[in-house]
Structure 1
Amino acid sequence: MEIREMELEEIEPIRNLRLESYKEYEQFVSKEHWAVLKNTLISDNDLKNNAKIFVAELDDKIVGSVALFPPSIQAYDWSDTVQEFPEIRMLSVDPTIRGKGIGKALVKHCLKVSKEEQVTKIGLHTASFMKKALSLYESMGFERFPELDLEPMNDGIIVKALIMDLEKDTK
C-alpha cells in the first residue's frame, strides 16, 4: 500500500469514495442530518482551505483517503469554530476491504506530516455513532476533549472531539 498526496484530478473519485464509505451511517441520522453530512463529504471546503488530501493506493486503485486541515482555519462549512491545531477530517476507506489497516495507516501518515511540521497537537471530530472510528482513534492515543464537542444539527447527535499531544510517544 502506498500513501501519497492526492492529485487534483482525483478529487471526484475521492468524493465518491467518501460517500460510499459513510453511506452506512445514513441509518443513524435524520434525512436533514444526512444531507448536511453528505454535503460536507463532497464540499470543496478541503480545496479552499489548503487542506492536504492523502490517498491510500493498493494495486493502482485508491482505497482510502483523509484530509488534513491546517490550524487556524474554518474546517467545517456549518461551524465558525477555528482550531489552533491541524484537524484530521473525512477518513474514508473502501467498505469492501476494511480491516486491513488502511484507515490506521492514513491517520499515522497525518501524524507523521504534522510532526514534520513541528505541530504539537492534532485533533479530529467523529460522530457519536461512528463507534469503530472512535475506537480506532482512541487505540492510537487520541484522547477525548469534550470542551470542543459539536452538535451541528441540534438533534442530540454529538460530534466528539479528540486530540493527540504529538510531543508524547504515540502508538
Structure 2
Amino acid sequence: MTVVDEKASRPDATAPHPVAAAPHPVATAPRDAAPAPRDAAPAPRDTAPVTVRLVEPSEHDAVAALLVEAYTSDYDISGEYRASLSAVAERAAEHQVWVAVGADDQLLGTVATPRAGRLISELAHDGELDFRLLGVSPAARGRGVGETLTRHVLDLARERGASRVVMNSGPQMISAHRLYHRLGFARFHERETRVLDDGTRLFAFVLELSTPEAPGAPGGPGAPGASPVPAAPAHHLSTHPRTAKA
C-alpha cells in the first residue's frame, strides 16, 4: 500500500531505525484490533538485531502475505478482512507501513501508523498517535518483534510531540493486554465505543506520553477514563484464539 513517498513525513525516514530486540512477540488479530501473541513452547532464541524501517514498494506483496499468515495462524477471518489485510500498497499510499527486518533483511513483522498530522483509526483524536495492523510472522515469534514494533510506535509518537498513543484491542487478546500493561498502557474506558458486527465491543488502550513509561503510570489523575490493565491469570493464556473471533 503508483505509491506516495512514505518517507516525506519523516525527515530521517531514509535511514533504518534500529531498535533493540525485546522479550515478547505480538501476533495479530482481525478487525483493527491490536493483536495478541500466540503462546507456545519456548524456541531457541535468535539474538540477531531487529531493524524497523518503512516498507519498500517491492515488499508490498510479501508484507500482505505475512499479515495474512500471522492472522490466520491464530484466527478465522472473513474473505473481506483478508482482502483488507492484503491491501498493503493502498495503505502505504495513504499512511505509513513499517517493517521489522533481521540482519539478512528478512521480513519479520509489520505495523501501520498515520503520517504526521493525520489519524489512522476512528479511535484517535488530534494530537494523539494511533496504530493498527501489528503483525509478526509465525516463524519470527520468540524474538520480541511485536514489542520492538510497539516501542518504535512510541518513539515515533514522542518524536512528533503526540500527547498519547492509543489503540483498540479485542477483549479476548489477554496476552497482548499483558504486553501493553508492561509498556505502560492502560484501559481507556471512555473511548470504548466501537462495536463490531458480531456485537463485540473493542477495548481501548492509552499510553500518556506526559508521564513516565512504567506500568500503571498512564491512567492517573490526568487521564480521565483510563485504568490500569490487570495482569491475566496464567491459565487464561492457554485459551485458543479461534474460540473468540473478532
TM-score range, shorter chain: 0.7 to 0.9
Alpha-carbon distance between aligned partners in 2 of 1:159 and 1:38, rounded to the nearest angstrom: 19
Tell me by how many angstroms 1:114 deviates.
Answer: 1.1
**Structure of greater relative contact order (alpha carbons < 8 Å, 6+ residues apart):** 2
Query: Deviations along 1:15-62, whole A, 9 cap, x unmatched?
Result: 1111111113434xxx6xx3443233223562353x221111112201
- Could you say which structure has the higher strand fraction? 1
Alpha-carbon distance between aligned partners in 2 of 1:144 and 1:108, rounded to the nearest angstrom: 18
Decide which of 84, 92, 95 is 1:40's aligned counterpart.
84
Query: Deviations along 1:115-158, whole A, 9 cap, x unmatched?
Result: 011111111112222222222112211111123222121x2323
Structure 1 residue matching 2:200: 3-state secondary structure: coil
Task: Assess if the C-alpha contact under 8 Å between 2:99 and 2:111 holds in 1.
Answer: yes
Task: Assess if the C-alpha contact under 8 Å between 2:119 and 2:130 holds in 1.
Answer: no
Partner of 2:73: 24
Q: Report matched runs for 1:154-169 at 5 Å.
A: 155-169=198-212
Which letter maps to 1:39?
A
- Could you say which structure has the higher helix fraction? 1
Number of residue pairs matched by the alignment = 159
Partner of 1:151: 195
Which letter maps to 1:118?
G
Which letter maps to 1:143?
A
Partner of 1:106: 149
Structure 2 residue matching 1:139: 3-state secondary structure: helix
Q: Report % sequence identity.
A: 25
Partner of 2:161: 118
Structure 1 residues 6, 140: closer, same or farther in 2, change over 3 A?
A: same
Tell me by how many angstroms 1:74 deviates.
Answer: 5.3
Partner of 2:174: 131
Tell me by how many angstroms 1:105 deviates.
Answer: 0.6
Larger Rg: 2
Structure 2 residue matching 1:86: 3-state secondary structure: strand
Partner of 1:3: 52
RMSD of aligned Cα (Å): 2.1
Alpha-carbon distance between aligned partners in 2 of 1:14 and 1:103, rounded to the nearest angstrom: 15
